[in-house]
Structure 1
Amino acid sequence: MPAANYPTPKTFAYPQTTVERAERSLICSPFNPALLAAMQQKSISLGAIAQNNGIKNNYSKRFLSELACDNALDWLIQVGVLRREVDGQGITDSYRLTPLGQKLAEKYQNQTWPNPSFSDRLQNAIARWLRLPF
């Protein structure tokens, strides 16, 4: 049987505003770049990110309850950085990076995120507050 010859996969082209919103959401999030680095390799469960595990694994900047962690991760899903892992039974409690998330993880590989400005925090808060529920 001849080997299949597939063209190289294309990278997604995102509008600059999408990339900026996703990056702003990341730097305003309670998570560390180590979380994205780990998600480049495998999916990470909510239990590994929430509560004391998040601090121990260097995934979060502070203690997060499971609900707060889930809400922060859901926001990163909505801006296109993360996606929920799916198995044969349905949606799991694990998360993976999207192609946009991979792009941002590569950008901040072995770096810390910049401190968000007041403007960054305000724009992120307004975007979260005004988001449509669909």
Structure 2
Amino acid sequence: MTPTTSNPDFRYPQKTLDRATRAVRCAPFRLKFYATMLTHSVSLSAVAGTPGIRNQHSKRMLSELAADGELLWLIQVGILRREVDGQGLTDSFRLTPLGRQLVQQWQSVGGFGKASLSDRILNVMHRWFRLPF
């Protein structure tokens, strides 16, 4: 198995899938952003500012700091990882196996849905207060 393919036999706990899906729904990124990462990495500069809107990666204009914060949260919930090259960490991001599995699922149904008020509240509680539910 290559590192870029996901294991279809591996099952993530439902709690993990729910938290990851909720984080993506609440994030300011479009499905195209995640779908792009199925084939190659995406750099921070392609997400922040005007390029984020032009590339259809983000729903709204994001500063570099805001984009980085959102991407770091998606790393913590297990959707993304930082790309590494021969020199160390880069400013690019890739999908994890969990992220690949979810993006492929979302592509087959046409999206990941819109965040509800309860999604936003739970996401804030997980993100800022690290509550266990």
TM-score by structure 1 length? 0.88
Residue 130 of structure 1: CA displacement?
A: 1.4
Partner of 1:6: none
Structure 2 residue runs of 5 or longer lacking an equivalent are 1-5
Distance 1:108 1:56 in 2: 22
Distance 2:18 2:113 in 1: 13
Partner of 1:86: 84
The amino acid that maps onto 2:12 is: Y
Identity of aligned residues (%): 53
Partner of 2:63: 65
Q: Say whether residues 1:55 and 2:37 are aligned partners.
A: no
Deviating beyond 6 angstroms after TM superposition, the runs of 4 or more aligned structure 1 residues are: none
Structure 1 residue runs of 5 or longer lacking an equivalent are 1-8
Change (3 A) 1:29 1:15: same
1:30 match: secondary structure: coil
Partner of 1:109: 107
**Aligned pairs (5 A) from 1:23-42:** 23-42=21-40
The amino acid that maps onto 1:89 is: Q
The two structures, once aligned, show a CA RMSD in angstroms of 1.5
1:80 match: secondary structure: coil
TM-score by structure 2 length? 0.89
Partner of 2:41: 43
**1:5-56: CA deviation from partner (whole Å, max 9, x where unpaired):** xxxx844321000000000000100000000110000001000011110100
1:58 match: secondary structure: coil
The amino acid that maps onto 1:46 is: L
Distance 1:55 1:10 in 2: 33
The amino acid that maps onto 1:66 is: E
Partner of 2:3: none
